[in-house]
Structure 1
Amino acid sequence: MSKTNDADSRTLTLERVFNAPISLAWEAWTNPEHLAQWWGPEGMETKVNKHDFRVGGEWEYAMTMPDGQVFMAEGVYTEIVEFEKICSTANFKPMTEGVEIQAYFEAKGEQTKFTFKCVHETEAYCKQQEEMGFYNGWGSVFNRLADFLKSKM
């Protein structure tokens, strides 16, 4: 199997078009005050503990469920191309660890085409994460992002 096919078999992808210009979509991902407003599935409250937005910089967010349970999200930025992509290692403790997340941005007039990829270490782990609700969880996160962007327009 080629490396491309191997990566494809370990990757879950979500695509959205946001009704916001790319500059605003980018700012929502890069400004910690904005991130705290939408990061995490519906019902979670997010506190940004670290946000060193540069290649090699660390990020860490504490996400609190309505029942008080706290989940930690952390990683290290591995690639940043302004208005194009943000790549990072990621751990979402205790559910998902050792993944890479990739956020791609493409201007479409006053809209932004957004592609989100989560690359897992193995195909089996990828399948497990999909079955645990990857699309519902991240879909909820990006619904919150869409609402946040709408509120800033």
Structure 2
Amino acid sequence: MNKANKMGNKTITIKRTFNAPLSLVWEAWTQSEHIAEWWSPKGVKTKVVEHDFKVGGKWKYIMPMPNGQEFIAEGEYTEIVEFEKIISSANFKPMTEGVEIQSLFKPNGNKTDFTFNVVHPTEEYKIQQEKMGIMNGWSSVFVRLDELLKNM
């Protein structure tokens, strides 16, 4: 099996097109004040604790859940190509740890084609995450991003 197939077996991919120009989508992904508005389920306000947007920079967001617990998302940027991609390690405690997230952007006229990959350490871990509802979780977050972009 080649490397691409092995990566595919460990990767969850979400694709969508945002009805906003690439520069606006990039701003929403890279500015703390915007991230706080969309990086969480509906009804939850994200607290940006750290956001050092550079290769080697760390990020940490806290989302208070209705039950009083905190959901912590954190990682380190490993690759940034302006207006093209953002790659980061990521932990989403207490549910998901040790993944890589890849946010890929492509201009499409006045819209932006977006691909989001979550690369897991193993195929088994990916399957476990799928059963836990990772697709629904991220899809709902990207709906919030879409709503934010309409108001930027």
With normalisation by structure 2, the TM-score equals 0.98
Aligned to 1:8: 8
Partner in structure 1 of residue 21 of structure 2: 21
State the Cα RMSD in Å. 0.7
Offset at residue 88 of structure 1 (A): 0.1
Contact in 2 for aligned 1:14/1:135 (Cα 8 Å)? yes
- 2:64 corresponding residue in structure 1: 64
Q: Distance in 2 between matches of 1:73 and 1:13?
A: 19
Letter in 2 for 1:114: F
| CA distance in 2: counterparts of 1:42 and 1:117, whole angstroms | 21
The answer to whether the 8 A contact 1:43-1:65 is kept is no
Q: In the TM superposition, what whole-angstrom CA distance separates every residue of 1:57-100 from its partner, at most 9, and x where no partner exists?
A: 00000011223221100000000000000000000000000000
Within 5 Å, give how 1:86-97 maps onto structure 2: 86-97=86-97
Query: Aligned partner of 1:24: which letter?
Result: L
Equivalent residue, structure 2, for 1:128: 128
| Conserved 8 A contact 1:86-1:103 | yes
How far apart are the structure 2 equivalents of 1:16 and 1:68?
Answer: 32
Structure 1 consecutive aligned stretches of length 4 or more whose deviation exceeds 2 Å: none
Counterpart amino acid of residue 52 in structure 2: D
Q: Secondary structure at the match of 2:46?
A: strand
Equivalent residue letter for 1:63: M
Q: Kindly provide the amino acid, as one letter, of the partner of residue 72 in structure 2.
A: M
Say whether the 8 Å CA contact 1:45–1:65 is kept in structure 2. no
Q: CA shift at 1:43, angstroms?
A: 2.2
Alignment partners' CA distance in 1, 2:129 and 2:144: 21
Q: Secondary structure at the match of 1:50?
A: strand
Rounded Cα–Cα distance in structure 2 between residues aligned with 1:73 and 1:150: 25
1:41 maps to what in 2?
41
Compute the TM-score of the two structures, normalised by the length of structure 1.
0.97
Give the structure 2 partner of residue 82 of structure 1: 82
- Structure 1 residues not aligned, in runs of 5+: none
Report the Cα offset of residue 125 of structure 1: 0.1
Percent of matched pairs sharing the same residue: 62
Q: Which AA in structure 2 matches 1:38?
A: W
1 CA distance for matches of 2:114 and 2:41?
18
